[in-house]
Structure 1
Amino acid sequence: MADRKDRGDAVAVIGLGRFGSALALELADRGVEVLGVDNDSKNVQQLSGQLTHVACADSTDPDALTQLGVEEFGRAVVGIGNDIEASILTTSILADFGVPDIWAKSISRQHSRILQRVGAHHVVQPEHDMGERVAHLVTGRMLDYVEIDEDYALVKTKAPGWAVGKTLGELGIRTKYGVTVVGIKSPGGRFTYATSETTIHGHTVLLVAGETGMAERFAEET
Structure 2
Amino acid sequence: MREYVIFDFDGTIVQSKMLAIRLFNELAAKYGGRQIEEAEIPRLSGLSIPDRLKALQVPLYKMPPLVLEGKRRYRDELPGLQPAPGMREVFARLKNHGYKLGILSSNTMDNIQTFLAQHELAGFDFVHSSTNMFGKDKAIRKMARSAGFGLDQMIYVGDELRDVQACRKVDVPIIAVTWGLDSAKLLAQAGPDYLCHSAAELEAIILAGSGKRG
Structure number with higher relative contact order (C-alpha < 8 Å, ≥ 6 residues apart): 2
Smaller-chain TM-score bracket: 0.3 to 0.5
Q: TM-score, normalised by structure 1?
A: 0.42
**Hey, which of these two has a bigger chunk of helix by percent?**
2
Which protein shows a greater Rg?
A: 1
